[in-house]
Amino acid sequence: PAQPPIPGSALPPPDDLTAPGKTERPENVANGPRNPFTPPAASIPGPPPLPTLPTPYPSPIPSPALPGPENRKPEARAGAGATLALVDTLERNWDFATNRSGSVVLLEFMTTTCGPCKQVIPVLSNLQSRYAAAGLQVIAVACDDLPLKQRTSTAAKYSNDYNLNYALYVEPGAQSGSVRDRYNIESYPTAILLDGNGTVLWKGHPGKRAELETAVKRALGR
């Protein structure tokens, strides 16, 4: 026998939802009564998923930008030595633009305690003797790490001890290194050949006698 309805509910008891002769619930009916001989709906698979694309190669690292004129090494700029200032052994200022005596200036960066610097003194003395009349001025720049007054007195003694025939100057300022670093000097001795505008024509070890003399002759137009 059928169960009585649940009080307070319009729906029949759960056992009557599928009992024969009972009306099916509306959500289970589609376009009329269900045909008991209707085959089950086929489950059609969807299209296969697209293959996963491989991870693209990373973009190449861009080449670093070339430095602009303001970031280049000082010797790469024309006229880099035009404002060159030094101090002589009497602590007097020397300026490249107004005090140089030659049309070509050969700067040797050295220290008074450097052994190889002493070995190239004959090379520099010979160049000064042979080419001074043609317009060459040889200048040694002592870069000793000493206070200014000691640098000048040490340079004066060095010049007298080795009887230099060319001028010996020191860097200005309380500490040495301002002029040396401007020309990226990495070892002693190193020579820099400048024309009248302060442009670097040659840079290297002054012990390379033949190479240095060739550069001097070329600069003097000989």
Percent helix / strand / coil, the chain, rounded to 5: 30, 15, 55
**pLDDT for 46-67, tens place per residue?**
555 554 544 443 333 333 333 3
Residue 77 DSSP one-character state: S
**pLDDT for 172-184, tens place per residue?**
998 889 899 999 9
User: Given the DSSP bridges, would you call strands 136-142 and 104-110 parallel, antiparallel or unpaired?
Assistant: parallel
**pLDDT for 119-138, tens place per residue?**
999 999 999 999 999 999 99
Q: Which residues pair with 106 in a beta bridge?
A: 138, 193
End-to-end Cα distance, the chain: 134
Task: Tell me how long the chain is.
Answer: 222
Measure the CA–CA gap between 183 and 151, rounded to whole angstroms: 20
The answer to whether the beta carbons of residues 190 and 109 sit under 8 Å apart is yes
Give the pLDDT score at 176.
Answer: 87
Residue 69 to residues 4, 49, 66, 77, 193, Cα–Cα distance (Å): 101, 57, 9, 7, 21
Residue with tokens 């001025």: 137
The answer to whether the beta carbons of residues 76 and 183 sit under 8 Å apart is no
pTM above 0.85, yes or no: no
pLDDT tens series, the chain, 222 aa = 555 554 554 544 444 444 444 444 444 444 555 555 555 555 555 555 554 544 443 333 333 333 343 443 444 344 555 679 999 999 999 999 888 988 999 999 999 999 999 999 999 999 999 999 999 999 999 999 999 999 999 999 999 999 999 999 999 998 889 899 999 999 999 999 999 999 999 999 999 999 999 999 999 998
Asked if the peptide bond before residue 189 counts as cis, ω within 30 degrees of 0, the response is yes
The answer to whether the beta carbons of residues 140 and 166 sit under 8 Å apart is yes
The phi, psi pair for 5, rounded to 5°, reads -65, 150
